[in-house]
C-alpha cells in the first residue's frame, strides 16, 4: 500500500500559501498571501475575513472558529495566539510563547510545541510542549510537569490521536510519545533509528507514520506499535515533498496534509 494524494485547494492566481488545516467535518481552511494582502479560503470559497494581526499558523477549532499564531513574536509578552471567528473576527488573544513549532487543537485545549530556541530560551516555551486553555492559561507543560519522564529539547513533530491523546516525537533520543492529559498517562515507544529526525507524524490505531526522517527526507515511513520486535521494522509507503504535517485520526482517513503550490491530503490507499 502507498499513500495517494487528493488536491483540496489551488490558488487561482500566483500566491503564497501561508498555512492550511483540514478536518473532515469542517473541510479545508487556507491562508494565502498575494501582493502583501492576506486572504482566507474555506473549501475553495473566499472569506470576507479581514485581520491586521501577524500570523503564520492556522488551525481549526470548530466549524466557525480558527486559531492563528505568530511563531516568533517581537516582544516576550506579545499576544501572538488568537482565537478568530470566521464571521466576527478576533475573539480573544494570549501569549503562547516564542519559537513555535506546531499547534494542535483538541477538546482539552490548544497544544503548542516549540523548537530548541524556545526550549532553551525563557518563558512558557521552555516547556517544550504546552497545553493552553482557550484563555491562555497553562494547563500542562512537559518539561515542567512530566517529572522528567520525557524531556523535550526540540519537539520535531506532534499530532493528535484517539480520545484527544497527543503524540510527540522529541529530540534528541526520538522516542514516540503518547500522552493523555485527561488521565495524566504517558506511554513511550522506542522506534527504529531510520525514523529519527522525522518532522511529521500521524498515528492510526496501531500504526505510526513518519515523514522527513534524517536519511529519508521525502519518504513516508511506517511502523507497527505492537511489540518491540515489530517496532524495529520499517516499511516505505512512498515519497512526497513540500511541507507535510500529520492529521488527527478522524480526518476522513487522511494521514497528512501537504502544502506546496497546492494544499492536498495524503491517504493510505
Question: What pLDDT digit, counting tens, does each position of 83-106 carry?
Answer: 999 999 999 999 999 999 999 999
The structural domain count of the chain equals 1
Distance CA(116)–CA(151), nearest Å, equals 12
Give me the mean pLDDT over the 261-267 stretch.
Answer: 95
Of the candidates 84, 80, 92, which has an alpha carbon nearest to the alpha carbon of residue 118? Answer: 80
**Reduced to 3 states, what is the DSSP secondary structure of residue 162?**
helix
In angstroms, what CA-CA distances link 130 with 101, 135, 201, 223?
11, 14, 18, 27
Domain that holds residue 141: 3-268
Cell readout for 126 is 521552555
**Lowest-confidence segment of 158-162, 202-206, 208-212, 227-231 by average pLDDT:** 227-231
CB 237 within 8 A of CB 2: yes
Calculate Rg over the CA atoms of the chain: 18
- Average pLDDT of the residues in 169-190: 94
Which run of H or E residues covers position 118? helix 116-119
> What does the longest C-alpha to C-alpha distance in the chain come to?
53
Answer yes or no: is pLDDT of 228 > 80.
no
* pLDDT score for 254: 73
pLDDT at 50: 86
Mean pLDDT score, 52-70 = 97
Is the backbone peptide bond immediately before 172 cis, with ω within 30 degrees of 0?
yes
CATH number of the domain that 65 lies in?
Answer: 2.120.10.30
User: Residue 206 — pLDDT band, cuts 50, 70, 90?
Assistant: confident
Contacts (Cβ under 8 Å, ≥6 apart) of 104:
59, 110, 111, 113, 158, 159, 160, 166
| Rounded Cα–Cα distance for residues 133 and 214 (Å) | 34
3, 209, 211, 244 from 228: Cα distances, Å? 25, 16, 21, 27
- The per-residue pLDDT for 230 is 54
Residue 149's pLDDT is 82
Determine if the pTM surpasses 0.85: yes
Q: Hey, CA dihedral for 52, 137, 150, 185, is it positive or negative?
A: negative
**Could you tell me if 102 and 158 are in contact, meaning their C-beta atoms sit under 8 angstroms apart?**
yes
pLDDT tier at 12, thresholds 50, 70, 90: confident
| Predicted pLDDT at 44 | 86
Query: Lowest-confidence range among 8-22, 120-134, 222-236?
Result: 222-236
Which grid cell is 119? Answer: 526550549
Give the pLDDT mean for 27-42: 94
Q: What is the pLDDT of residue 232?
A: 63
pLDDT for the residue 187: 93
Question: Mapping DSSP to helix (H, G, I), strand (E, B) and coil, where does residue 196 land?
Answer: coil
Report the phi/psi class of residue 58: left, alpha or beta, with left for phi > 0 and alpha for psi in -120 to 50.
beta
Amino acid at each position: 500500500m502507498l499513500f495517494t494524494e487528493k488536491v483540496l485547494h489551488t490558488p487561482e492566481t500566483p500566491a503564497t500559501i501561508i498555512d492550511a488545516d483540514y478536518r473532515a467535518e469542517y473541510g479545508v481552511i487556507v491562508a494565502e498571501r498575494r501582493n502583501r494582502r492576506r486572504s482566507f479560503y474555506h473549501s475553495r470559497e473566499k472569506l470576507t475575513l479581514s485581520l491586521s494581526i501577524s500570523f503564520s499558523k492556522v488551525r481549526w477549532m470548530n466549524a466557525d472558529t480558527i486559531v492563528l499564531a505568530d511563531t516568533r513574536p517581537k516582544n516576550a509578552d506579545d499576544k501572538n495566539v488568537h482565537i478568530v471567528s470566521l464571521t466576527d473576527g478576533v475573539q480573544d488573544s494570549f501569549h503562547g510563547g516564542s519559537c513555535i513549532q506546531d499547534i494542535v487543537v483538541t477538546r482539552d485545549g490548544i497544544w503548542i510545541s516549540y523548537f530548541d530556541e524556545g526550549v532553551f530560551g525563557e518563558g512558557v516555551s521552555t516547556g517544550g510542549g504546552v497545553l493552553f486553555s482557550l484563555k491562555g492559561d497553562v494547563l500542562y507543560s512537559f518539561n515542567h510537569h512530566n517529572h522528567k519522564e520525557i524531556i523535550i529539547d526540540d519537539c520535531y513533530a506532534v499530532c493528535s490521536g484517539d480520545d484527544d491523546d497527543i503524540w510527540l516525537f522529541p529530540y534528541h533520543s526520538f522516542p514516540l510519545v503518547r500522552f493523555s492529559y485527561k488521565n495524566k498517562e504517558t506511554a513511550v515507544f522506542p522506534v527504529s533509528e531510520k525514523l529519527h529526525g522525522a518532522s511529521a507524524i500521524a498515528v492510526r490505531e496501531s500504526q505510526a507514520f513518519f515523514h522527513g526522517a534524517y536519511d529519508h527526507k521525502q519518504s513516508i515511513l511506517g511502523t507497527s506499535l505492537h511489540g518491540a520486535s515489530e517496532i524495529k521494522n520499517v516499511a516505505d509507503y512512498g515519497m512526497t515533498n513540500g511541507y507535510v504535517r500529520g492529521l488527527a485520526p478522524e480526518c476522513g482517513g487522511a494521514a497528512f496534509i501537504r502544502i506546496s503550490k497546492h494544499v492536498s491530503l495524503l491517504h493510505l490507499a
